[in-house]
Amino acid sequence: MDVYRQQLDAFDPAVAQAIAGEEHRQVDGIEMIPSENYTYPEVLAALGSVLTNKYSEGYPGRRYYGGQEFTDRIERIACERACALFRAEHANVQPLSGSPMNQAVYFAFLKPGDTVLAMDLSHGGHLTHGAPVSHMGKVFNFVRYKTAPQQGGTIDFDALRQLALEIRPQLVLCGYSSYPRDYDYASFKQIADEVGALTMADISHIGGLVAADVMRNPLDAGFDVVTTTTHKSLRGPRGGLILSKAAHAGAIDAAVFPGLQGGPHMNVIAGAAVTFKKAQEADFRRYAQATLDNAKALAAALMAEGAKLVTGGTDNHLMVLDTVASFGLDGRAAEEALDRVGITTNKQIIPDDPRPPLRPSGIRLGTPACTTRGMDPQAMGRLAGWIVRTLRRPDDGAGLAAIRAEVRALCRSHPVPGVSG
């Protein structure tokens, strides 16, 4: 790899320097966006392998091009490991990312105009769950449920049941990108069964936590389909994974290929296979539990400083901080202030946010990446202090410089796996 890097340095220094700059940013800053993580060095090796040269349209044993002996072997390994890890009957490892992954499930089971019951975007749902600006929101009839403020921001299942009985959806979707609580899959399944709907769980954010059995597995509750990206808390390459009952295998596979995609990215599938093997190790379970422990410690420390969190805490790896209520800053201003001290977050809408998406009322914080670097609850307390100090005085140049130095020192004592800096 060093030889290839030298060739890139010589041929295209502009790109090489940008990559080097990103390496330094990752090494010297703390990544707090809950959907981001540091992958394994072994996965980086798979991603940069000769597999990127090979087209493999179709499925193992049924390809449209020759020369598939080793690609077939890799895809079968990936599927077998995914099924074992998540206790699934069938796995499709070909989706190129989370968006086509979810689209494939919709097209496998629904007709245009069919109704899907899914979480409202501002209450923690995801863009791919039928947000009005998405293409899927135009093809299918997504009806959105919300969290209940009077119940601490959790889901009111009595109201959800009444809505389901009223609209009679073909699919009930449980999945979120900014919901800080655990997921009650059994209640979703009970409601779906009552109205004759299929069940789908998008666990992209918590896929690694589910794989490690530190959070509930929707397949254990009888869900028909589960989707997850392979990065985030799984620490793998950026790809998608669809898990299902065996009865749905044909419909899902046809929806992925040839329905939505041509050739899969075999280097990514190889990286996913490595990731699934890593996730079976005891070290990964310890990592997943530490991610949850760190999230609870960070949430508690922030609230002790007077910060307001949506739902008043967290049961998973993320939390949403209401920066307007806590500090009088919109999410964009808070994100930019924290960038200046080397703490990377993302602006985030809060439930029924009155502010526009690019200047929302909050930021989203997560612990997968900092836990990968070996940071512990004590470090979370320091992080909370830096976040609060920064957001209370975002224009204090000298104060921010001092925090930046402290952040850098912590980062240098917790190296990023596979990155030299």
Q: Which residues are annotated as a binding site?
A: 121, 125-127
SS3 325: helix
> Which residue in the list 23, 57, 156, 339 is annotated as catalytic?
57
Residue found under tokens 């969190």: 309
Annotated active-site residue 372? The verdict is no
Annotated active-site residue 281? The verdict is no
Annotated active-site residue 87? The verdict is no
> Which residue in the list 23, 28, 36, 55 is annotated as catalytic?
55
Nearest to 219 by CA among 177, 186, 175: 186
Annotated active-site residue 179? The verdict is no
Residue found under tokens 């990544």: 31
Annotated active-site residue 202? The verdict is yes
> Which residue in the list 39, 128, 229, 390 is annotated as catalytic?
229
Check if the beta carbon of residue 320 is closer than 8 Å to that of residue 362: yes
Nearest to 248 by CA among 402, 106, 58: 106
Distance CA 30, CA 386 (A): 11
CA atoms within a 13 Å half-sphere pointing along the CA-CB vector of 6: 3
C-alpha pair distances (Å), 306 with each of 59, 134, 318, 338, 380: 54, 36, 18, 18, 16
Distance CA 262, CA 115 (A): 28
Annotated active-site residue 322? The verdict is no
Distance CA 322, CA 312 (A): 10
Numbered residues of the known binding site for (6S)-5,6,7,8-tetrahydrofolate: 121, 125-127
Distance CA 240, CA 251 (A): 17
Catalytic center residues = 55, 57, 202, 229, 232, 238
